[in-house]
Amino acid sequence: MSRSDFSNAKRIVVKIGSSLLTNGGLGLDKPAIAAWVKQMAQIKQQGKEVLLVSSGSVAEGISRLGLDKRPTTLHELQAAASVGQMGLVRTFEDNFQKYQLHSAQVLLTHEDLSNRQRYLNARSTLLTLLDFGVIPVINENDAVATEEIRFGDNDTLAALVANLVEADLLIILTDQAGLLDSDPNTNPNAKLISTASVNDSILDAVAGESHSGLGRGGMFTKIRAARLAARSGAATIIAPGAENNVISRVLSGQTVGTHLKPNIAPLVARKQWLAGQLQIKGSLTLDDGAVNILKNAGKSLLAVGVSSTTGEFQRGDLVSCLSKEGKEIARGLINYGSTDSRKIIGKASSEFQALLGYADDDELIHRDNLVLT
C-alpha cells in the first residue's frame, strides 16, 4: 500500500504512546486527546473502522499518585496502572461522546492472544464492537499482567491487534518526527526516513531505545511492530503525534512520518497467530538439510533433522527452530515434550515406538503449525 492508497484503508489501528498522552509525564494531555479523538471521529464519519491502542495508564497513575519517577516493582506498576486506567477511560469516553460515538475498554494480556481459543474470542469481540460502530480502546492489562505474560510494549500490542482484526493500516503516533537515519540526541542533522520496506536492514542499524522513561518502547519496538503488522498485509506509519491533524494528513496521503511497507505476502490467519507469539518455551537446532527443507520445500520438521534442543517445554508449546549458526529460521507448535524430544532427535520416526514406548506423530512440528520467520 502506497501513501496515495491510505485514503482507501477501511480498518485502521491507531496507537498513541505514553509520552504523548501524558505530555511527557505531567498528566493526561486533554487538549491533545481531544484533537486525536476529533480526527478519529472524522474517520468514522467517512465510513471507516478505527481501533485505538492507548498507552499511558501507568504514566497517568504516576501523575495521579504524585510519584516522582516510574516505579520499578511489579506491584507498584500494577497499582499505578489501576489508578491511571480510570482517567484514560473517562477522558476518551467523554471526548468520543461529543461526536455521539461509543467507546469500549478492552484490556488484554499476552495470555489472551497466546491461547488459540482466547485469541479467537478476542477477535470476535473486537469485530462485534466494530459492527456496532463502537471504537475499541485497547490497552495491556497492566493491573494483572506479570512479567511472564506481558507484551513488553504497546507497539507490539498494536501490531498484534492489527493482525487480529486484519487491519489495512497501523498508525503509531510518537513524540518523534518518525524514524530518523541517526540518533537526534547526538546528531542534530539526523534526517527522516520517509519510506522503507519493513525488512530493510538499515532499519535495525538506526533504531534506538526510548528516551522518555515513561513507556517501554523505542524505535526498535516500532520497527518490530511494523514487521508483525506486515504479516497480515498492514502498512505502518510512524508519525509525529503532536503535529496538527496528523491522522487526517496521513490518511490523505501527505508525506508525514515514516511509511514502512509490507514486502511479504500476508500469512494465513493461523500462521499470523503463530508468528505473533512472543513466549517461546525452547529451541531446536537444525542441520543444514532440515533448514533447506523448511525454507524451500514447505514441509514439516522431522526429528531426524534436529541436532539439539534447549529449554523445557510440553507438547503444543511454541519453540524456535534455529540454524546451526543460531539464526531463527522458523517457529512452531511441537508435538513432543522436551524430555521425549531429546530422546528422538536425529532419529527416524520409525524408531519412536522403540525409543518412547509410543508414537503419536511422525513429525516433530507439522507444517500447518509451523511458520517461517
**Per-residue pLDDT tens digits for 114-132:** 777 788 888 999 999 999 9
Q: Which amino acid is at 202?
A: I
Q: For position 222, which CATH number holds?
A: 3.40.1160.10
Nine-digit cell string for 129: 464492537
Same domain, 69 and 192: yes
- Grade residue 152 by pLDDT with cuts at 50, 70 and 90: low
Choosing from 272, 298, 329, the residue where a domain stops is 272
80 vs 171, more confident? 171
Lowest mean pLDDT among 30-34, 171-175, 218-222: 218-222
Nearest to 215 by CA among 165, 174, 179, 181: 174
Containing structural domain, residue 251: 3-272
Nearest to 7 by CA among 244, 197, 250: 250
Q: Which pLDDT value is given to residue 181?
A: 83
Q: Which pLDDT value is given to residue 76?
A: 87
Same domain, 70 and 189: yes
Same domain, 238 and 327: no
**Number of independent structural domains in the chain:** 2
pLDDT at residue 212 greater than cutoff 90 = no
pTM of the shown model: 0.77
Q: For position 365, which CATH number holds?
A: 2.30.130.10
- Grade residue 348 by pLDDT with cuts at 50, 70 and 90: very high
- Grade residue 138 by pLDDT with cuts at 50, 70 and 90: very high
Same domain, 164 and 288: no
Same domain, 233 and 197: yes
Choosing from 244, 272, 300, the residue where a domain stops is 272
Q: What long-range pairs does 200-204 form, CB within 8 A, spacing at least 24?
A: 203/179, 203/260
Same domain, 254 and 320: no
Cβ atoms within 10 Å of 370's Cβ, excluding its own: 23
Same domain, 116 and 250: yes
The strand ranges marked E within the chain are: 11-16, 49-54, 103-108, 135-140, 169-174, 195-197, 235-240, 258-261, 282-286, 306-311, 318-322, 328-333, 370-372
Lowest mean pLDDT among 124-128, 262-266, 294-298, 345-349: 262-266
Same domain, 291 and 267: no
pLDDT digits 0-9 by tens, 58-111: 888 888 888 888 888 888 888 888 888 888 899 999 999 999 999 999 998 877
Burial class of residue 251 in the structure, from the number of CB atoms within 10 Å of its CB (0-12 exposed, 13-18 middle, 19+ buried): buried
pLDDT digits 0-9 by tens, 293-305: 999 998 999 999 9
Choosing from 272, 304, 324, the residue where a domain stops is 272
To the nearest whole percent, how much of the chain has pLDDT over 70? 92
Same domain, 77 and 191: yes
Same domain, 355 and 304: yes
Rg for the chain, CA atoms, rounded: 22
CB 58 within 8 A of CB 80: yes
- Grade residue 236 by pLDDT with cuts at 50, 70 and 90: very high
pLDDT at residue 285 greater than cutoff 80 = yes
210 vs 11, more confident? 11
Mean pLDDT, residues 255-274 taken together: 82
Of how many residues is the chain composed? 373
Nine-digit cell string for 230: 506486515
DSSP string, 41-96: HHHHHTT-EEEEEE--HHHHHHHHHT-SS---SHHHHHHHHHHHHHHHHHHHHHHH
Same domain, 262 and 314: no
Q: Which pLDDT value is given to residue 207?
A: 65
Computed over every residue of the chain, the mean pLDDT equals 87
Q: Which pLDDT value is given to residue 17?
A: 85
**What does each C-alpha distance from 3 to 27, 70, 236, 237, 244 come to in angstroms?**
34, 37, 10, 9, 18
Q: Which pLDDT value is given to residue 231?
A: 84
Report the alpha-carbon distance of residue 365 to residue 360 in Å, rounded.
12
- Grade residue 144 by pLDDT with cuts at 50, 70 and 90: low
Same domain, 262 and 328: no
Q: Which residue has the cell 492489527?
A: 162
